[in-house]
Every structure is written in structure tokens, then in C-alpha cells.
């Protein structure tokens, strides 16, 4: 059997896609270890997860919530991800040696992973936790592309000395394999050139109900259209007004109810047809949903579409506009402007996606492709193949 090290940044949405993959690899008898922030990984992967700490500087990614465009990209890479790689690459390399890793599976924003793998001569694959970066988001802005390449080149020169060879392009996308947790039905056709890409769809972990499941399932009205509203795990500070807008929008709809994720407690009084919880059991809840309103987070979008649920998407930052446009281009939902969305606009969009069959049909078509892609099972097959083909243990 083989030994795998999963390298992740301290970002929930970038850890979640790999949890089910780790479960599948472990079920096949492989050793699976993680490198990253222990408490967050164990909260998502389970308390039994083998975690080797790789702690970055005390800087939260939520500090960049108000930034847009180039300023947001500059903050993400210069102030967060490159310093994170600088601080953690030695820890990742040490973890790879301790677990005798045959392959590193590195989130696309965990740059310490490729740095350590290249230094140690270990193959690695890229986990594309969002489809926004499967194609170069800076292709239309050559100056920004050169700035990022220079940033990567400097990091490589400092932390991955010769004889190891690593390019800025390989730092972003492994030349061995990119695991894409989506399909071409949503993300668009594959590039003719570039690293090999495995379109595996969302890797959904089977939800398990237990005594700690406090969601009031009896509240759901089977005669009402359920709208699920979520802005993910890090957008609470900027999302309160939008959540209130969504509550007001659902109030305009006849025969509808809404379950709203409000982790920051922004909502107080809400009507009887709206349920507010700090967190929602999304995977189980989606089987009851008629529509989802969200920010365009890749996990949320793919989870919804994997359940054939159309969306209203109001992107906030980073790759979310790209994902939101993919939803609109696929015909599986409507894209709104986050800062300009009024209750009337949200209500109108919900009336459309709930009332027009074409949105549901498009969501079903994308959903069929996501489910057929194989998820965690397919991802495990692909990484096992890389181990075999690179001459490591199988």
C-alpha cells in the first residue's frame, strides 16, 4: 500500500473536497496523513485524522474581504499565500519524510506542497478546489500574469534550490495531474495544452445523522419550495445585509420557505417561513431544496448542482465571479451583482429559477455529469495511478 500526504491551507473550502478522498484512500488500505492547521483539519476530517502541523503566520484570509480586483489578488498572494508557503514548507517536507510519502496531494493554494515535493523528489498532484483557476484567470491581463510569475519565481529561488527544478506554472498546476472537482459541463471544455486534468466532480462525504444533529427537520413543509441561503464560512462580516435582503425576498414569494446559514448572527427577527441557523447540514438539506442562493463558492455550487438544484448566485470576490458565470453559462441559474442586489431583484430571480423549467433541466444535466464523474472514488483511482506510473509503491 502507499502513503499519501495531503497539504492544505487553513481554508475550509480548500480542505473539504479532499476529506472524502482521504476517506476513500484510507478504506483501500493506504496511509493518509494531512499537513496543515490541525484543529481545522480535524474539525472537517474527523478527530482521528493524522495531522502534522504546518502553521503559518497569524494572518486571517478574511482580512481581504473588502478588496476587489487586482488589490484582492495582491493581498491573497503577497500577504497570505506566499508568506504561508514561506512559513510552512519545512514543516511539509518534514511531514513527507515522517510518513514516507509516495505522493503529495496539494491544494492549489498550498504552495508549500510543491516546494517540498520538488526538493524531496516526490511526485505531487494538484487539488483544484475551485474551477476558477483551472484556466489562467490572468490570461487577459499580461502584466498581472508577469507579476504573479515573478512572485512565484522568487519563492522558488528562495525555497527550492537546485538541483530541484520547479517552474511557476508547475507551482500552480502539477505536471503529473490536476484533480478537478467539477466537470466540463460546468467549467467548460478542457484546454488543449496544459497538465493532465482528471474531471472527478464533487467529492461528497456521506452525511451521517447523529444525536448532535440539531436541525429541526419537522419544520420543513413538503408543500413549500425550500430556498437554501448560504454565503460560505468566511463571508459573514460582509454578508449580513445580503442575508436580510434574501429574507425580505423570500417574504415576497408565495408557497416558499427559506433556511438561512448565518454564522455571524446578523439576522434577528425573521418571518415564520424563514429558519436561521449558524450552520446548515447542507448535503442532507439539498435533497429537500428547490433553489439555492449563494456567493458562488465552488463547493456550494457543485453540491447544489449534484443534487439537481438551480441557483441564484451573487459573487463577492476571488474566483466566485468565474464560478457564478459558469452557472449562468450552463443555464443552471441566474447571476446577480452582490452589492446591488435588492429584495425585488432576488425575489425576481427566485421566481424565475423556481418557475421556469429550463433552469431545473439545466441543473439536472450538469448534476448528471457531476454524479457520473465518480467523485472521491475516481479521485482515488487517479492518484493511485500516478503512484504506479511514477515508480512509487502501489
208 lies in some domain? no
207 lies in some domain? no
One domain for residues 48 and 65:
yes
Reading the chain (394 residues) residue by residue, the pLDDT tens digits are 899 999 999 998 899 999 999 999 999 999 999 999 999 999 999 999 999 999 887 755 455 556 666 677 788 888 899 999 999 999 999 999 999 999 999 999 999 999 999 999 999 999 998 887 777 777 777 888 899 999 999 999 998 876 567 999 899 899 999 999 999 999 987 665 678 999 999 998 765 544 446 899 999 999 999 999 999 765 555 678 999 999 999 999 999 999 999 988 889 889 999 999 999 999 999 999 999 999 999 999 999 999 999 999 999 877 889 999 999 999 999 999 998 999 999 999 999 999 999 999 999 999 999 999 999 999 999 999 999 999 755 4
One domain for residues 221 and 177:
no
One domain for residues 222 and 195:
no
One domain for residues 115 and 230:
no
One domain for residues 350 and 381:
no
Q: How many residues does the chain have?
A: 394
One domain for residues 181 and 224:
no
CA angle, 373 then 353 then 327, to 5°: 40
One domain for residues 357 and 255:
yes
Answer whether 30's CB lies under 8 Å from 4's CB.
Answer: yes
Q: Identify which of 125, 96, 114, 107 has the alpha carbon closest to the alpha carbon of residue 33.
A: 96
One domain for residues 196 and 222:
no
Please, where are the H alpha helices in 62-130? 69-74, 82-98, 112-120
One domain for residues 18 and 123:
yes
The total number of structural domains in the chain stands at 2
156 lies in some domain? yes
Task: Identify the domain containing residue 139 by its residue range.
Answer: 3-201+373-389
394 lies in some domain? no
CATH of the domain at 289: 3.40.50.2000
118 lies in some domain? yes
Amino acid at each position: 500500500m502507499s502513503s499519501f500526504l495531503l497539504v492544505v491551507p487553513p481554508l475550509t473550502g480548500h480542505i473539504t473536497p479532499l476529506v472524502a478522498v482521504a476517506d476513500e484512500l484510507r478504506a483501500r488500505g493506504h496511509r493518509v496523513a494531512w499537513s496543515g492547521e490541525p484543529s481545522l483539519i480535524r474539525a472537517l476530517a474527523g478527530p482521528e485524522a493524522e495531522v502534522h502541523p504546518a502553521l503559518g503566520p497569524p494572518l486571517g484570509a478574511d482580512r481581504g474581504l473588502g478588496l476587489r480586483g487586482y488589490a484582492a489578488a495582491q493581498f491573497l498572494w503577497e500577504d497570505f499565500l506566499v508568506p504561508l508557503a514561506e512559513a510552512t514548507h519545512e514543516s511539509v517536507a518534514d511531514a513527507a519524510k515522517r510518513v514516507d510519502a509516495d505522493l503529495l496531494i496539494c491544494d492549489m493554494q498550498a504552495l508549500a506542497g510543491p516546494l517540498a515535493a520538488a526538493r524531496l523528489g516526490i511526485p505531487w498532484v494538484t487539488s483544484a478546489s475551485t474551477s476558477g483557476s483551472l484556466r489562467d484567470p490572468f490570461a487577459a491581463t499580461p502584466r498581472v500574469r508577469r507579476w504573479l510569475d515573478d512572485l512565484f519565481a522568487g519563492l522558488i529561488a528562495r525555497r527550492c534550490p537546485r538541483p530541484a527544478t520547479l517552474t511557476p506554472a508547475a507551482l500552480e498546476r502539477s505536471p503529473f495531474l490536476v484533480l478537478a472537482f467539477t466537470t466540463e459541463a460546468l467549467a467548460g471544455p478542457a484546454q488543449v495544452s496544459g497538465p493532465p486534468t482528471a474531471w472527478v466532480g464533487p467529492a461528497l462525504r456521506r452525511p451521517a445523522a447523529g444525536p448532535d444533529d440539531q436541525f429541526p427537520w419537522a419544520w420543513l413543509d413538503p408543500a413549500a419550495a425550500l430556498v437554501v441561503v448560504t454565503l460560505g464560512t468566511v463571508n459573514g462580516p460582509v454578508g449580513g445585509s445580503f442575508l436580510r435582503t434574501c429574507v425580505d425576498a423570500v417574504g415576497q414569494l408565495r408557497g416558499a420557505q427559506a433556511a438561512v446559514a448565518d454564522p455571524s448572527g446578523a439576522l434577528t427577527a425573521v418571518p415564520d417561513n424563514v429558519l436561521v441557523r449558524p450552520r446548515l447540514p447542507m448535503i442532507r438539506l439539498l435533497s429537500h431544496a428547490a433553489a439555492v442562493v449563494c456567493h458562488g463558492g465552488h463547493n456550494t455550487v457543485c453540491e447544489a448542482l449534484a443534487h439537481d438544484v438551480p441557483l441564484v448566485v451573487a459573487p463577492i470576490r476571488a474566483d466566485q465571479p468565474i464560478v457564478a458565470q459558469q452557472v449562468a453559462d450552463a443555464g443552471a441559474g441566474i447571476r446577480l451583482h452582490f452589492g446591488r442586489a435588492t429584495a425585488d431583484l432576488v425575489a425576481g430571480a427566485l421566481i424565475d429559477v423556481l418557475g421556469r423549467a429550463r433552469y431545473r433541466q439545466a441543473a439536472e444535466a450538469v448534476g448528471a455529469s457531476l454524479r457520473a464523474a465518480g467523485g472521491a472514488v475516481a479521485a482515488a483511482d487517479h492518484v493511485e495511478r500516478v503512484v504506479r506510473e511514477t515508480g512509487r509503491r502501489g
